[in-house]
Chains A and B, each alone.
Chain A
Amino acid sequence: MYPQNFYFTKDHEWVAVDGDTATIGISDFAQKQLGDVVFVEQPEIGKVLAVHQTIGSIESVKAVSEVFAPVSGEVTAINAELGTAPEAVNQDPHGKGWIIRLKMANQADLGALMKAADYEKYLEGLTH
């Protein structure tokens, strides 16, 4: 269910790494908790984020959730399609529902994150 090559946080963000580029989104568990997503607030391209700094917020009909940077770096792209089709976060959270891309400042940030198998165990602990 959760992509083996992704990294995950306890706040349910995911990171996919390609060289020094990190693509960031929220996990399938997170989108299910939120329900129908209707608005995604994203940062400006060029913004420099520290670990745990707020990237933006995701609003569903019933709730709002902040998204935090799992790794540090500079925003190089935002998923502009979420402006008109925020439901992609629900429909394809690990793919078309990506939120931003960062140029990573420090590869070592990844060391604090969970791999898919650990994240799945973490989720079991939350739901049982």
Chain B
Amino acid sequence: MKKTRFNAHHRKLGAKMIEFCGWDMPVEYKGLIEEHLACRHAAGLFDVSHMGEIHVTGRDALAFVQHISPNDAARLSPGMIQYTGLMTAKGTYVDDMLVYCVHPEFFLLVVNAANTDKDYAYIQSVKGGYEISLDNASDRYSQLALQGRQAIPILQPLTDINLAPMHSFTFAFGKVAGKECIVSRTGYTGEDGFEIYTLDQEPGILWDAIMEKGAPLGLQPVGLGARDTLRLEAKLPLYGNDIDDTTTPLECDFKWIVKFKKGDFLGRDVIVRQNEQGISRKWVGFELVDKGIARPHYPVFVDGKPYGQVSSGTYSPLFKKSIGFVYLPIAKTAIGTEFAIGVRDKRLKAVVVPTPFYKRDY
């Protein structure tokens, strides 16, 4: 099993560890609900070093990113970041990813841990005649996410980067606790916050310094368990559950990442056709009306007939109810529409609700 460079920190904290995509990762420290609420009300620190980082460099770097992504990377100046998908020729997802523009001949792609090897192989397979170099740098990077309303007060004393003026989805190079880092105003929780990348081979002091500054402000380490419930409340999709190589950005309500006017990209013709003809199903949020918890892969029933499965579902620590996401036939996606979810031997009533479930108010 692979270990992040913060593994000893998790063990020392007594975290419950699990194997996740071949990595030995903390699923919770003190408890999922407490960690979730600490992140919502103060701040949370996450080890996300398992995420993948791929360098795309060379004369055709921008053109190549434009080829694999439906979003318009030409809009990116150095220091800007874009959320997008890595597309198949069918307009479906190989993965979702963040594209960091270091300069027009150097893009950093941040991809899911579960998909890093697959993505890298795919990117190499579609490289064609583009004059670029590809480098799967994932094992050299460590990454922490500091998320929550206390993120700036915690991080600012530790870095020479002026954090407050940074816009969402931008990044800067600088020092954090004496280590060279990339600091980006991004995250996977619905909170304000930062993701901190370093190539330093001994990054442990980053964790220690952030925890020391943050503990008096309510910062807690957060495991993968609460990472999932936080992202779900904020309507951030999880690859493998909510999106995969059978879903298009239009179906999962991410039409905004598709820039039809930017020129060609992988899968564009399929997505254009789907946009003209209209989608037949859509990804929507639900609440369970009956008592219980709807979890991923539980069967869904529309008008009494089976219709796929729950894509993501959990108990919401913030709202204290069962929430989730599901693909429904387009005619059944209006807010208030009722359907059923099979929970063991029962069919429980669920209702389509507005999303995101959580939107920060600061």
Contacts and interface: CB of A to CB of B under 8 A. Distances in A.
A64 B31 contact: no
B33 A64 contact: no
Nearest to B314: A61
Given A35-B31, A36-B32, A61 B295 contact: no
Contacts of A59: 292-293, 315
Nearest to A87: B33
A20 to B, nearest CB: 30
B97 to A, nearest CB: 26
Contacts of A32: 16
A121 interface: no
B61 to A, nearest CB: 40
A39 B225 contact: no
A38 B315 CA distance: 8
A21 interface: no
Contact of B225 (A35, A38, A57, A64): A35
Given A61-B314, A61-B315, A35 B32 contact: yes
A36 B293 CA distance: 14
A62 B344 contact: no
A41 B345 CA distance: 13
Interface string A43-73: 0000000000000010111101000000000
Contacts of B229: 61
B31 A38 contact: no
Interface in B322-354: 344
A36 B31 contact: yes
B196 to A, nearest CB: 26
Interface of A: 32, 35-36, 38-39, 41, 57, 59-62, 64, 90
11 contacts: A35-B28, A36-B317, A57-B344, A59-B292, A59-B315, A60-B32, A62-B225, A62-B228, A62-B314, A64-B293, A90-B31
